[in-house]
Amino acid sequence: MTHRLNGRTALVTGSTSNIGRAIATALAAEGAHVIVSGRDAGRGEEVVREIRESGGRADFAQAELDGSPEQSRELAERALTLLGGRLDILVNNAGVYPPHTTLSADGDLFDRIFGVNVKAPFFLMQAVTPSMIAAGGGAVINLGSWITTRGVASSPLYSASKGAVETLTRAWAAEFGARGVRVNAISPGVIRPPEIGPDAVFPGEVLMAGSPAGAAGHPDAIAAAAVYLASDDAAFVHGTVLDVDGGRLSVHAAA
C-alpha cells in the first residue's frame, strides 16, 4: 500500500459487510483511522478486529440510520468523539434494496427506502460538514448505482433514491467545494457478494453479459475507487460520479 491517507480520519456507513467493509478495510490499509458503522455490533467488531490485526486503526460505532436527523447526528457525534474531534473522510455507503414493484410498494416501504438511502446521508452530511470546513476541508464519497441511468423493471424506488444521491453529490460539490470539502460519488456496477463462493450461481452475472469485463465485479474494485477519491490524487475532482462497472454502462462488447 502507498499510505496515501496517513493521518486522515474516516467514517464509513454500512461497513460491516460487502462493499462498505471493503472500503473501510482499504481506507485503513492506506493509513486512515476508520470508524466502522452499522447495525450489527458483532459483524462490526469483526471488521475492526481484521483491520487492527493488519496493523490499521479502527473503531466501531453502532448506528441505525433510519433517515431521522437525530440518528445521523448521533452517529456523527460518536464518530467525532472516537476520532478526537476531526473527520476528514465521510463515505455514505449504507443503503437498503428491498425487492418491490410500483404496484406492490406502499407508503412504509417508500419512506424506508428514501429514509435510509437519501435522508440519512443528507442529515449526516449536514452534521459533519461544519467540522470539516473548520478543519480546512475534507472528502465526501457517496454510493450511487448503475441503475440510476439504466431503467430496470424492478425496485423503482431504489433506483430513484440512488438517482437522488447522485444529484445531491453534484449539488453538494457546488455548495461545499469552495469551502474545501470535495464531494464525489461512485456508481458500482454488478458486484458479486464475497459470501457467494466462486462456484456458486450468482443471478447478477447475467447482467454483465456483453460488457468488457464479462463478469460481476468484486467489492475491492469499489474500495480502490474510494481510496482514490478520498486521497489527494483526486484533489481536482469535484462533483463526479465515477462508474466502476466493468464497462456495463458505456460499452457493449458483444458482436
Burial of 51 (0-12, 13-18, 19+ CB in 10 A): buried
* pLDDT tier, 81 (very low <50, low <70, confident <90, very high otherwise): very high
Q: Is residue 4 included in any domain, yes or no?
A: no
Gap between the Cα atoms of 92 and 73, Å rounded: 14
Given a cut of 90, whether residue 197 has pLDDT beyond it is no
User: What pLDDT shows up at residue 200?
Assistant: 86
* pLDDT tier, 207 (very low <50, low <70, confident <90, very high otherwise): confident
Q: Is residue 84 included in any domain, yes or no?
A: yes
Q: Is residue 253 included in any domain, yes or no?
A: no
What CATH number does the domain containing 118 carry? 3.40.50.720
Gap between the Cα atoms of 157 and 251, Å rounded: 26
Structural domain of 43 = 9-244
Given a cut of 60, whether residue 33 has pLDDT beyond it is yes
Structural domains counted in the chain: 1
Given a cut of 50, whether residue 72 has pLDDT beyond it is yes
Q: Is residue 1 included in any domain, yes or no?
A: no
Q: Is residue 251 included in any domain, yes or no?
A: no
pLDDT in tens, 109-120: 999 999 999 999
Q: Is residue 171 included in any domain, yes or no?
A: yes
pLDDT in tens, 91-133: 999 999 999 999 999 999 999 999 999 999 999 999 999 999 9
* pLDDT tier, 255 (very low <50, low <70, confident <90, very high otherwise): very low
Catalytic residues: 158
pLDDT in tens, 139-160: 999 999 998 988 788 899 999 9
Given a cut of 60, whether residue 65 has pLDDT beyond it is yes
Query: Kind and range of the H or E element at 139?
Result: strand 138-143
Q: Is residue 115 included in any domain, yes or no?
A: yes
Burial of 222 (0-12, 13-18, 19+ CB in 10 A): buried
Given a cut of 50, whether residue 73 has pLDDT beyond it is yes
User: What pLDDT shows up at residue 1?
Assistant: 67
Q: Which residues does 103 contact at the CB level (< 8 Å), separation at least 6? A: none
Query: Kind and range of the H or E element at 2?
Result: none
3-state secondary structure of 42: helix
pLDDT in tens, 231-242: 999 999 999 999
Please, what is the average pLDDT of the chain? Answer: 95
Q: Is residue 3 included in any domain, yes or no?
A: no
Enumerate the H helices of 9-147 as residue ranges: 18-29, 41-53, 69-82, 107-114, 120-135
- The predicted model scores a pTM of 0.96
User: What pLDDT shows up at residue 56?
Assistant: 98
**Which 8-state DSSP code applies to residue 178?**
G
3-state secondary structure of 249: coil
Gap between the Cα atoms of 63 and 121, Å rounded: 13
Burial of 106 (0-12, 13-18, 19+ CB in 10 A): exposed
Q: DSSP for 186-239? A: EEE--B--TTS-TTS--GGGGGGTTSSS-S-B-HHHHHHHHHHHHSGGGTT--S
Nearest to 120 by CA among 189, 74, 179, 185: 74
